Amino acid sequence: MIRDLKRMRLILLLVVLFAFAPVYGQTTSNPKPRPESVGLSSERLGRINQLVEQKIKDGKLAGAITLVARRGKVVHFEAFGKADVEAGKPLKSDAIFRIYSMTKPLTTVAAMMLYEEGRFQLNDPLFWYLPEFKDVKVYGANGDLIAPKRPITVRDLMSHTSGLTYGAFGNTPVDMQYRAASLLDGKSILADFVKKVSGLPLLYQPGERWNYSVSTDVLGRLVEVLSGSSLDEFMRQRIFKPLGMNDTGFDVPAGKIDRFTVNYQWDSTGKYVIADHPSKSRYGQPATFYSGGGGLVSTTNDYLRFCLMMLNGGTLNGVRLLSPKSVQLMTMDHTAKAQKPNIGVVLGDGSGFGLGFRVITDTAANQRIGSVGTYDWSGMASTAFFIDPKEHLIGIIMTQKLPTDLRLMDEFRTIVYQAIIESTDH
């Protein structure tokens, strides 16, 4: 009897141990590495927390997620504040954000995958594939429409030297025509969008000037034409699924809407209002306009996977999207000979633009701590990322703040770099 009782106790103990083994293994087998193990200071990285918490306390942010990875290891990943201030809903690490123009690098990668398959060459005229652009004209100095000196090329779309514009950042006659056409109202499909754009004059001669524009939206249509798939389907099958970006897309499914953050708009007095609420957002409905320039939603973890793929030379966890040589080409400055604007959306001194990314060409001129060759971009609602190949470093900040808080991005970047205590860039 005693022997049987001991046996039962032993069996019960083993059952309990095996039942909790997965939990125990999950929490101890893969602990977050110390920043010092990758040459960063824990104490100095803590300044990120101080920065964001102070911004929230001062009413300058509702919430934010920050992430730092080096040498393939995530050493800082924190969520602060609220996803919905009015509801008192805390911001969690799996929150879904409108990433707006951080869509552009993903669309450019999609096009470069087709480039690697031999579907086009970078200097091919765009009208070979999108005939709508064959007879496009340039708005002349006297308001007359003149023939371009050369056709728009595919590379022009990727580097924003196409002569196209946005309509939102200037007040030229061409910008006014863009606004009147309501190009980005989300009610078109990409094919119709391209027809509208091609019917408007170019603001500049192709190749002569860097000008932030709808170029990447047109590039998204090129992906559709060359692949035979919608941009949504191509990205899902060729990029998101292979990389495990399971929460990235052009809309938010009903089952995930509770993770979708509120987007806030600040005014000049420091007060903010709701600009877009998940319960009323167009992102809560199935998308029909797949904006390659600004239509995606994503999570911090998902975008990290994209950044890691780029930093690893086009591959992640055995999945290869691009050749290292393509990544190298994309992250070179393709705008050295192009004029750069000093109003509207600007690159800043010491910066150029590659294929889908801004590229730092001179850190002293750029007046920001960092490395030559770092590439980055941001989103309208103050999301941002940077990738530094020399330091093998990635920084991501996700929030939902309008208008774009450029200072927040610079402050975050400064803190990430000052945390380096072992530099590989000598």
| CB within 8 Å of 142: residues ≥ 6 apart | none
Give bridge partners of residue 124 from the DSSP assignment.
none
Segment 265-278 mean pLDDT: 96
Judged against a pLDDT cut of 70, whether residue 221 lies above it is answered with yes
The closest of 334, 322, 340 to 155, measured between CA atoms, is 334
Please identify which residue in the block is written with the tokens 């860039």: 425
Segment 125-134 mean pLDDT: 98
What is the percent of the chain with per-residue pLDDT over 70, rounded to a whole number?
92
pLDDT of residue 284: 97
CB 160 within 8 A of CB 104: no
pLDDT of residue 11: 37
Segment 224-235 mean pLDDT: 98
Judged against a pLDDT cut of 70, whether residue 5 lies above it is answered with no
Rounded to the nearest integer, the mean pLDDT of the chain is 92
pLDDT of residue 30: 54
pLDDT of residue 426: 60
Label residue 339 by pLDDT band (50, 70, 90).
very high
CB 338 within 8 A of CB 210: yes
* Dihedral sign from CA coordinates of 44, 391, 356, 204: positive
Instruction: Give the model confidence (pLDDT) of 21-77 as tens digits.
Output: 333 222 333 578 999 999 999 999 999 999 999 999 999 999 999 999 999 999 999
- Range in 1-5, 70-74, 86-90, 180-184 with the lowest mean pLDDT: 1-5
Burial class (CB within 10 angstroms; exposed 0-12, middle 13-18, buried 19+) of 130: buried
Put the strands of the sheet holding 263-266 in their side by side order: 272-276, 263-266, 401-402
- Range in 110-119, 225-234, 391-400, 416-425 with the lowest mean pLDDT: 416-425
- What structural domains and CATH numbers belong to the chain? 35-99+230-418 (3.40.710.10), 108-227 (3.40.710.10)
Other Cβ atoms closer than 10 A to 383: 27
Segment 175-199 mean pLDDT: 93
CA dist 373 and 365 (Å) reads 14
The closest of 151, 206, 214, 211 to 188, measured between CA atoms, is 214
Segment 177-194 mean pLDDT: 91
Q: What is the largest CA-CA distance in the chain?
A: 105
pLDDT of residue 287: 96
Q: Amino acid identity of 208?
A: E
Token readout for 384 is: 């941002």
| CB within 8 Å of 38: residues ≥ 6 apart | 70, 71, 73, 75
pLDDT of residue 184: 83
How many helices (H) and strands (E) the chain has is answered by: 13, 17
Label residue 343 by pLDDT band (50, 70, 90).
confident
Instruction: Give the model confidence (pLDDT) of 347-376 as tens digits.
Output: 999 999 999 999 999 999 999 999 999 999
Judged against a pLDDT cut of 90, whether residue 340 lies above it is answered with yes
Q: Coil, helix or strand for 316? A: strand
Judged against a pLDDT cut of 90, whether residue 3 lies above it is answered with no
| CB within 8 Å of 262: residues ≥ 6 apart | 62, 83, 84, 85, 86, 274, 276, 277, 278, 400
pLDDT of residue 28: 32
Label residue 179 by pLDDT band (50, 70, 90).
very high
User: What are the DSSP calls for 28-65, one per residue?
Assistant: HSSPPPPGGGGTB-HHHHHHHHHHHHHHHHTTS-SEEE
Question: Whole-prediction pTM value?
Answer: 0.92
CA dist 215 and 355 (Å) reads 11
- Range in 95-104, 271-280, 337-346 with the lowest mean pLDDT: 337-346
Judged against a pLDDT cut of 90, whether residue 131 lies above it is answered with yes
CB 420 within 8 A of CB 39: yes
CA dist 406 and 202 (Å) reads 28
Label residue 18 by pLDDT band (50, 70, 90).
very low
